Chains A and B, each alone.
Chain A
Amino acid sequence: MTQAPATAPGAAAPAPAPPAPARPWYRDPAWYQAYGVYVAVGALLLFNALITDRFLTTDNLTTQLVQVAPIVIVALGMALVIGTEGVDLSVGSAMALAAALLPLYLGYGLVPALVLALLAGAVTGLVNGVLVSVAGLQPIVATLALFVGGRGLALVLADGQLKQIINPDLLSLGTASLLGVPVVVLIAAGLALAVAFLVARTTFGRQIVAIGGNRKAAVLAGLPVKRVLTGVYILCGTFAALAGILATARLTASDPSSLGTLMELSAITAVVVGGTPLSGGSVRVLGTVAGAVLMQLLRATLVKHDLPDSTAQIAQAAIIVAAVYVARERRSR
């Protein structure tokens, strides 16, 4: 059946119908589309509270937040890219590049090393952005190149080696907390707020959405399309690098060979489960955060109940489909 309308055809509609059809929220598809993720997060929390031992403890919840923070950061950048009707497969490689650079430059001090690592992310973004906006490549292919090559480059830089990090300042980035909240989580939350503001209130943010909504119209309306596109990919790359730095600090080691593998899929899943359409033209920041949290809680649940990998993967697949199905855009017809 194609998108059965909530009101059955032929059902008697009151002749002078009020402009907004009165429908209880629980029967309104728009409601699920808007709030589905949050409900799912709540449901999973509730489920765990009842079923899983020691779930609703501060320690455990903190652990979940700390683990999800890098994914959130990457997903925020990804959400912007997806808003322009693009996608960035190279985020995992950008993380690896940042991680590989850190130990090489920590000798010059923490700040130079951090700046360099972030810059590496920005440069990957720049390359992607130029390939997409100037060369006119399709985003998947444009970023596929760095997906393949970026990690290789990171490994070349690191000589294929995992390196232990001993710089205490960098390490404290991974472990320190402020008022009981880990710094990693604070950074992710701050970034989410910043991106929400960017999307809702800045020229740049609105231009992102317009470009994703109708590229030709944006061009004719004089929007700096190439600049905005390049900027979006640079942001995404930089966010990925930041996530790479934080993950490295937490791991206490720079591990370019495995850091951020499959991150692109996690991030895209978070964005899409969070209600941002892959067809561009809208960005849901809070939804993206909720999407990432949902997938994190799901992974945690599966691990805590010691389900084998096979079951875990099938369960994840089912949840993704269910989440997207509930939140799907129902075309009225």
Chain B
Amino acid sequence: ASGCSKSETADTSKGDATAGAQATQPADTSGKGCTLETYGAPKLDLKNAVVGFSQSEKEANPFRIAETQSIKDEAAKIGVKKLLTTNAQSQLPKQISDIQDMLAQGAEFLIVAPLNSDGLEPAFKAAAAKKVPVLTVDRKVNAEACKDYLSFLGSDFVEQGKRAADAMIEATGGKGQVAILLGASGNNVTTDRTKGFVDRVEEKAPDLKIVAQQTGEFARDKGQQVMEQLIQSKPGITGVYAENDEMGLGAITALKANGKKPGEDVKIVSVDGTRNAVQALAKGEMNAVIESNPRFGPLAFATAKKFYADESIPENVLITDREYDQDNAEKSLGGAY
């Protein structure tokens, strides 16, 4: 491990105020790492810099709220001169012009939460033309690190799917029928979380049959509606994998309304780690929640600081997402967002 892992990272099992901070995985040392020189960016004092943050989706779900808030808080804490924030409202073209707008307004360092893994190239080009480093968070882009962008901070969505599969296998004993509540169609996150889950189940628990894959569009009410249909048509379902907490919670509502016990009759595993889901977990209505940690502020600015301190930054700074289960849910509640 290089010196990239943060020393002040909180012990994840502690349920106190510092809980929920991100921890990094041992860095991927295969890449050469990126330095100020190789990237070709001018030196900068973050304190006197204009920093831009491009959010991808509306701050209308816990993940995005927590993510934006964390960046804002950390910027204030560090005392950057000015933090510009934009929101692409789920429109990729808007994210491109958002980034261009911030560049035109004099942003000197950019933190971008990409809406999609592909398609941001024009924005990166514009930043490169102005020699403004771009740090991407939460979603990896298909571009060249240390050239198109500085580095990626975030989770591995395929891995999240795999861990969800592990949790599901454990909860169901590797047998039975599972349904997947997919995220929005065409979305990278959906694709990755599905791939990880399906691959791992095929590999490890051939007796666990995936009997339905229907989209709940990452929304609670859609998750509920799909679940209601499945309860009627596939009463043999014993497990539900929801690709985010909201759909998982929708499934719980649907199960309860139909007189089934979520968490017992039907095992539920979801991804995210929102407060509501961890609460449900603590109540025994869920079986596991794989965390996807949104609090990128401290890590992002720390990485930036290091970059300007001439340290080498690895291509991927993967964070270790926690896993909540029924046992640790209660005390981990403080760390949920």
Contact = CB atoms under 8 A, between A and B. Distances in A.
Interface of A: 52-55, 57, 59-60, 63, 66-67, 155, 160-162, 164, 175, 247, 250-253, 255-259, 261, 300, 303-304, 306, 308-310
Given A54-B233, A57-B232, A253 B220 contact: yes
Given A57-B232, A63-B229, A67-B225, 15 more contacts: A54-B232, A54-B233, A66-B228, A67-B228, A160-B59, A250-B224, A253-B220, A253-B249, A255-B219, A255-B220, A257-B60, A257-B61, A258-B60, A303-B226, A308-B213
B25 interface: no
B156 interface: no
B29 interface: no
B232 A258 contact: no
A251 B224 contact: yes
A257 to B, nearest CB: 3
Contacts, number: 87
Contacts of B257: 175, 250
* Chain B interface bracket (under 10, 10 to 19, 20 to 34, 35 or more): 35 or more
A57 to B, nearest CB: 7
Nearest to A52: B233
Contacts of A252: 253
A53 B58 contact: no
A63 B212 CA distance: 18
A304 B217 contact: no
Interface of B: 58-62, 65, 182, 185, 211-215, 217-222, 224-226, 228-235, 246, 249-250, 253, 257-258, 276
> Counting chain A CB atoms within 10 Å of each CB, which of B59, B222, B229, B231 scores highest?
B229
A259 B60 CA distance: 12
Contacts of B230: 303-304
Contact of A309 (B215, B224, B249): B215
A160 to B, nearest CB: 5
Contacts of B65: 160-161
Contacts of B214: 303, 306
B239 to A, nearest CB: 15
B193 to A, nearest CB: 15
A147 to B, nearest CB: 13
A162 B232 contact: no
Contact of A304 (B60, B218, B233, B249): B233
Q: Which 3 A-B pairs have the closest CB atoms?
A: A257-B60, A258-B219, A304-B233
A160 B233 contact: no
Contact of A306 (B211, B220, B225, B276): B211
Nearest to A99: B221
Contacts of B234: 304
B241 to A, nearest CB: 14
A257 B230 CA distance: 25
A250 B58 CA distance: 25
Given A252-B253, A303-B214, A306-B212, A257 B229 contact: no
Contact of A251 (B213, B250, B258): B250
